């Protein structure tokens, strides 16, 4: 029987008792805590990323009561708060704002996926079954086997592809929102300019419009006066015409008289 999962102990006065291996706690720091970098992160499984002891095939089978069925009894107790502390440290180490390389982004996504798997009982049970089935924790080295690493990489590639697709959708939505905001701003500026132009035009036209209205009112009021003045002018013109006729007749008479006088004196 594995000492990591079922141990024998002797208590005074009580004989030997076999401790039942139900949900043994896995505390951060229980396993060796390696230095994780963006270059070597693929060589660690999710337990090792947080310094947890990796369940082995024998310990998982013992935790399941020898059935190998992967029941809830196979899920270890985990100090979630401690795991989150390690996650914060690793996520800061690989955060894209700090290191914008593709390797750092990949490491950041690996750490995020590892956290979601470790703290979720359903995902954790499936992950442990994967480790056991592929023999990732039973090679004695504490490091995952090649098949497990391949499955981890495939899963991580799927997660990153989904993340990239979400980012593309988000950026497209942001671009559309910016374009809509720009169009709205341009329309508002155009409407404001039209209002200002209308106000300026109205303020300039008003004095002329008032003057025109005043003149029109004057014309309407003085129409009769204009008619009277017109009659007076026509009367004066007729007098002038008659006076001109009389003066012309007088001049003709004077001319004839002078002609006769010259003729008489010349005889």
- Reduce the secondary structure of 183-248 to three states and give it as a string: HHHHHHHHHHHHHHHHHHHHHHHHHHHHHHHHHHHHHHHCHHHHHHHHHHHHHHHHHHHHHHHHHH
Structure tokens at 155: 């899963």
Q: Which residues are registered as beta bridge partners of 9? A: 17
CA angle (136 as vertex; 130, 141 as ends), nearest 5: 160
Query: What's the pTM value of the predicted model, to 2 decimals?
Result: 0.41
pLDDT tens per residue across span 120-168 = 999 888 888 888 776 644 444 444 556 666 766 777 677 777 777 888 8
Whole-number pLDDT of residue 167:
82
On the CB side of 9, CA atoms within 13 Å amount to: 8
Which residue matches tokens 């409407």?
191
Residues 156, 45 contacting (CB under 8 angstroms): no
pLDDT tens per residue across span 221-230 = 566 777 777 7
pLDDT tens per residue across span 87-124 = 999 989 999 898 888 888 988 999 999 999 999 999 88
| Position 261 pLDDT exceeds 60 | yes
Rounded to a whole number, what is the largest CA-CA distance in the chain?
198
């Amino acid at each position: 029987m594995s000492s990591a999962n079922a141990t024998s102990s002797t208590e005074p006065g009580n004989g030997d008792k076999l401790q039942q291996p139900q949900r043994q706690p896995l505390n951060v720091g229980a396993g060796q805590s390696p230095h994780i970098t963006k270059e070597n992160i693929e060589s660690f499984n999710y337990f090792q990323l947080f310094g947890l002891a990796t369940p082995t095939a024998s310990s998982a089978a013992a935790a399941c009561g020898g059935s190998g069925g992967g029941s809830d009894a196979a899920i270890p107790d985990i100090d979630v708060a401690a795991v989150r502390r390690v996650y914060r440290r690793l996520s800061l180490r690989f955060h894209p704002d700090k290191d914008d390389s593709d390797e750092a982004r990949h490491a950041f996504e690996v750490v995020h996926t590892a956290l979601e798997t470790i703290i979720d009982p359903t995902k954790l049970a499936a992950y442990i079954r994967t480790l056991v089935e592929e023999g990732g924790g039973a090679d004695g080295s504490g490091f995952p086997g090649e098949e497990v690493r391949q499955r981890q990489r495939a899963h991580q590639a799927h997660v990153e592809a989904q993340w990239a697709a979400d980012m593309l959708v988000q950026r497209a939505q942001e671009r559309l929102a910016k374009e809509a905001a720009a169009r709205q701003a341009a329309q508002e500026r155009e409407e404001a300019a039209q209002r200002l132009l209308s106000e300026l035009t109205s303020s300039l036209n008003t004095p002329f419009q008032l003057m025109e209205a005043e003149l029109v009112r004057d014309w309407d009021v003085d129409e009769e006066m204009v008619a009277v003045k017109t009659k007076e002018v026509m009367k004066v013109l007729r007098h002038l015409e008659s006076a001109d006729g009389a003066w012309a007749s007088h001049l003709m008479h004077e001319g004839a008289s002078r002609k006769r006088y010259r003729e008489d004196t010349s005889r």
